[in-house]
């Protein structure tokens, strides 16, 4: 019985917060970017190379680092769903980006890492074919990178 009442209380609290946000949005008191995060420029996702994506993200150069751990399969049977993980052991990691060399759009994902959060992400990406996957990490104004070639047996980006 105790668990049910705690669950109901947390559900009611969630509904109260959601209602307050909805009223604030409807009345124009709260901007959507304050609730859902900053508005994204999107230019980085149009980049056709790793260097162009880095530039669009605000960087100019990067260094290979053993402090960035990229986890991806050696062979992906289906390019439409390739599991990728990135972990950073660099203190004050601010951002993690995943890029794929030969994709129509190089940048596959960007993740902001709030202060005090473990700098680790896991996701699934699309790959058009065999290519090098890159993990870019921004920490203390520096850009660090790890890379790995992933062989794709069945294409995922339009094929």
CA-CA distance, 84 to 154, in Å (whole number)?
A: 17
Examine the pLDDT at 28 and tell me if it is beyond 70.
no
Task: Give the per-residue pLDDT at 159.
Answer: 47
Task: Give the per-residue pLDDT at 48.
Answer: 83
Average pLDDT, the chain: 82
26 pLDDT band, cuts 50/70/90, is: low
Q: Which CATH number fits domain 43-152: 3.40.50.620, 1.20.950.20, 2.60.40.2470, 1.20.140.10?
A: 2.60.40.2470
Task: Give the per-residue pLDDT at 50.
Answer: 82
CA-CA distance, 155 to 139, in Å (whole number)?
A: 33
Non-local (6+) Cβ contacts of 45 within 8 A are: 105, 107
Say which residue, 103 or 158, is predicted with more confidence.
103
Task: Give the per-residue pLDDT at 4.
Answer: 58
Say which residue, 39 or 94, is predicted with more confidence.
94
Task: Give the per-residue pLDDT at 15.
Answer: 77
Examine the pLDDT at 130 and tell me if it is beyond 90.
yes
Examine the pLDDT at 29 and tell me if it is beyond 70.
no
**Domain residue spans in the chain?**
2-36, 43-152
pLDDT in tens, 51-91: 888 888 888 888 899 999 999 999 998 889 999 999 999 99
Helix (H, G, I), strand (E, B) or coil at 57: helix
For a pLDDT cut of 70, what percent of the chain falls above it?
A: 78
Out of 6-10, 36-40, 114-118, least confident range:
36-40
Q: What CA–CA distances, in Å, run from 136 to 8, 10, 100, 117, 147?
A: 42, 38, 11, 17, 9
| φ and ψ of 106, to 5 deg | -65, -45
Non-local (6+) Cβ contacts of 29 within 8 A are: none
């Amino acid at each position: 019985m105790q668990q049910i009442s705690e669950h109901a209380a947390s559900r009611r609290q969630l509904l109260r917060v959601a209602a307050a946000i909805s009223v604030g949005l409807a009345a124009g008191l709260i901007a959507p970017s304050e609730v859902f995060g900053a508005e994204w420029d999107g230019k980085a996702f149009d980049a056709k190379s790793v260097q162009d994506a880095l530039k669009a993200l605000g960087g100019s150069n990067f260094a290979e680092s053993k402090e960035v751990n990229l986890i991806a399969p050696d062979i992906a049977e289906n390019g439409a769903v390739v599991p990728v993980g990135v972990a950073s052991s660099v203190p004050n990691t601010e951002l993690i980006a995943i890029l794929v060399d030969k994709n129509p759009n190089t940048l596959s994902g960007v993740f902001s890492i709030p202060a005090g959060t473990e700098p680790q992400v896991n996701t699934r990406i699309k790959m058009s074919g065999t290519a090098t996957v890159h993990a870019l990490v921004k920490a203390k104004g520096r850009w660090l990178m790890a890379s790995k070639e992933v062989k794709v047996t069945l294409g995922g980006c339009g094929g």
